[in-house]
Structure 1
Amino acid sequence: MKALSVGMTLAACLAVRPAQAASPAVSAAETSINLSVGVMNTQYHENLTPGDDESGTTPGFGVSIGALLPTHPGYAASVDIYSALIYNFDAGNIGYSGHYLVSGAPLTATDHSVFNRVEARLGLGFPLIGGAESIPFLAAGYQAWNRNIDPKGAIGTDEFYHSGLFGLGYKLDVPIGAGFVAFGTGEVLALAGGGITANGANFSGGFGVTPEERVELGLNDAVSGRFHLFATAFWEHFNYAGTRPQSYGYNYYLYEPFSTTTQFGANFGIGYSFN
């Protein structure tokens, strides 16, 4: 009878304390399509003397779609499948402080810059006690910067930087109220397969592999039914490895130097959950 009582007590505990499942608030926030607007500040520096520097803030918008779905629907204990596709576009004027391509004389100008970034994620979601969700993921994508500096033809203008993105990330979602979710994401990526094309100088070259780090924090609030409002703040840092010198005219070589870029900003948007 004693053994039976212990067995019944254990079964009762398991019945009232099932394994964790994804929080409805987290599932709704992640399984949605989103539109956003925002601003991004760019700080660019070439590791060269004399070098080029750029800084300024540009407006932009973003579109994303994601899903957090259980591998075994209907079970209390279920690892979730996480996926997301994210696109961001920013464009506007930022300040250029550099030098003329051939003479090296100082020059202050305007860069009519255009930034594009797309990222795909695939990972696993692990529900935690309290409804939080731990999500490690793989990431791959593409980023580009179209650098259009005035005056045309005076520098290596109309430069197009581009690179593939490959790496790992981790996201943590924490429900902090009815329909209210706080989240944070960290990524370590490799820039690979990238390069530069400078139409103004008829020059192009490939980059080596360099790192990119990105951190994002945000809040998501289910304000009305399936509609959500959200706000995010991000910071990212990356390097472009530069190119090898190439012959450019008589006794002159042209190359893209190693550079460092830091970008940070904020986005505000609306989402529709289809979970």
Structure 2
Amino acid sequence: MSSHRQDVVRRLAAPDIAARKGGEPIVCLTAYTAPIAEILDEHCDLLLVGDSVGMVVHGLPNTVGVTMEMMILHGQAVMRGARKAMVVIDMPFGSYEGSAETAYENAARIMKETGAQAVKVESGPTVPDTIHYMVQRGIPVMGHVGLRPQAVLVDGGFKAKGRDIGSHNQILAEAAATTEAGAFAVVVEGVAEGLARDITAAITAPTIGIGASAGCDGQILVTDDMLGLFDWTPKFVRRFAHLRGDIAEAGAKYAAEVRARTFPGDAETYFAKKGSS
């Protein structure tokens, strides 16, 4: 008898995402844990284990301090929770900007140790050659242009891009080079609306916008921002829930009941079985 499970769900892969260019918008969110991945899996085409985990989960001031070990740990957790969505893992700062060979080794390690379907890199001027090297050796790569969080120390902060003709043309060229190098999709972050539309029209890979434009081929947000877990969020975030307040209220109720000795009550307490000695 075959041991093949009848309920196995085919996971989306790079060709499926690439084929959505100009079609139904691609739905993406970040995920860092198995429970969140399981909840979002039904609704998303792609889950990104973003290096934003450094700020969102670990309290770092930016993404520069994120390590390979952190990305692998969270990638493993997300892969346990997701069944249908494609899972992409950010390569952290310092893991791919040097030689293409080192980038390939680090990407291969991420994919081997997590089982994820692809990696993502921020596409600075020198990165397209590295993308080409990795893709030619069997690693699907997603690019990232515009506001590049790993370049925050060079830029002096998180600043919108492409508002003047010089930076507009530079980012457009970087997006084109990223696609020509073999990236199956390109995240476009924090750019002027017109630039996002120009990139989407100019490249053959689908664009995934974050603070870019509704004209992109898909959208992504940091899930914790979208859920309202922080007091402050970037301009481009729409809060679809307000969980920070809900969690604070629940914590306050719990604390009050513990102090009043009304929790735990009989319903939450184990008692000896009747007749036992």
Bin for the TM-score computed over the shorter chain: under 0.3
TM-score, normalised via structure 2 length: 0.25
TM-score, normalised via structure 1 length: 0.25
Q: Which has the larger radius of gyration?
A: 1
Q: Which has the higher strand share?
A: 1
Structure with greater contact order relative to length (CA < 8 Å, sep ≥ 6): 1
